[in-house]
Amino acid sequence: NALLSEVEVALAKGQIQPWYQPQLCTSTGEISGVEALVRWMHPQHGIIPPARFLSALEEAGRMGQLSEAVLHHSLTALRSWDDEGLHIPRVSINFSEAELRNPRLVDRLKWDLDRFGLPASRLGVEVLETVIAESPEGIIARNVSDLARLGCRIDLDDFGTGHASIGALRRVTVHRLKIDRSFVTRIDRSEDQRRMLAAVLGLADRLGLETVAEGVESSGEHALLAQLGCDHAQGFGIARPMPAPQLADWARDHA
């Protein structure tokens, strides 16, 4: 597979790195964290989005290599932001199903955190709703619960689009619901859309979970999210994902 070997070479050369997109607390406006979103900086073809190469790694069972690169880059970024005196509380990383099935995931993560001298509370883990649908005895539920016990924050990604029942939320520890952007878009222009979002926020509140809205593209949407009691906001209307040094500049300007 030509793509796969190209991706593996790119990983080894450090051409595949995460960019970081800020999340703001809607009540204070402060940065509550950043999400790591991987990009391939291809010397000929420019920036290649994850949709074009993640499945090649996934099919080959090589997602571990990617997550290791993303984790190292994220911990390095946290250290350098700390050294610059910036207050970036945590980085959230997307973990695929294959990675969440890795029995060594938690030990490896603990080891890396120790090596960088960072507490687990600086790390967030984003898990797709579909992935937690398995049984509580399963390896995924165990890994996610172990990560939570270690101190990582668990975000349920793309909430509202998956097949997980509400019951599945009780099987694994989850701290926040990331409300899929299909529920967020145009809330400032559609009463139906607004009602739908209010229902999801009400559900999160009853479950005692924090909320973060994805895909916030306008200041109207942002203002309404605060008004409706959504805790955090992320989207192009706040900032696009950007390389670690630019994120530092952005955070400095934002403070």
Q: In the complex, what is the shortest distance from the CB of residue 32 to ligand G, in angstroms, rounded to a whole number? A: 15
Q: Is there a contact between 70 and 19 (Cβ–Cβ < 8 Å)?
A: no
Contacts of 234 (CB under 8 A, 6+ apart): 21, 22, 23, 24, 35, 212, 213, 214, 215, 216
**Hunting for tokens 């990331």 — which residue is that?**
178
What sign does the CA torsion over 76, 80, 83, 89 have?
negative
As a residue count, the chain comes to 255
Alpha carbon distance 222, 239 (integer Å): 12
- Give the one residue of 235, 247, 248, 250 binding ligand G; rule: CB under 6 A: 235
Specify the stretch interacting with ligand G by CB under 6 A; choose among 44-52, 103-111, 115-123, 135-143: 44-52
State which of positions 87-126 bind ligand G (CB under 6 A): 94, 96
Residue 185 in contact with residue 156, Cβ under 8 Å?
A: no
Residues that bind Na ion (CB under 5 A): 94, 126, 157
Instruction: Output DSSP code: residue 138.
Output: S
By CB under 6 A, which span of 6-14, 35-43, 110-118, 162-170 interacts with ligand G?
A: 35-43
Of 8, 158, 221, 231, the residue at the interface with Mn ion (CB under 5 A) is 158
Q: Residue 67 Cβ, how far from ligand G at the closest point, in Å? A: 6
Indicate the residue whose CB is closest to ligand G. Answer: 235
Toward ligand G, which CB reaches closer, 25 or 54?
54
In eight-state DSSP terms, residue 218 is S
Nearer to Mn ion, 8 or 221 (CB): 221
- Exposed, middle or buried, 25 (CB in 10 Å: 0-12/13-18/19+)? middle
Q: How far is the CB of 236 from ligand G (least distance, A)?
A: 4
Which one of ligand G, Na ion, Mn ion, none is in contact with 222 (Cβ closer than 5 to 8 A by kind)? none
**Residue number, 122 or 176, with CB nearest to Na ion:** 176
Q: Binder to ligand G among 8, 157, 221, 231 (CB under 6 A)? A: 157
CB of 126 to Na ion, least distance (A): 4
The Cα-based distances of 194 to 72, 110, 198, 202 in angstroms read 39, 41, 6, 12
Do residues 233 and 24 touch, judged by C-beta distance below 8 A? yes
Which residue, 8 or 123, has its beta carbon nearer to Na ion?
A: 123
Residues that bind ligand G (CB under 6 A): 18, 21, 36-38, 49-51, 54, 70, 94, 96, 157-158, 181, 214-217, 235-236, 241
Binding site for Mn ion (CB under 5 A): 157-158
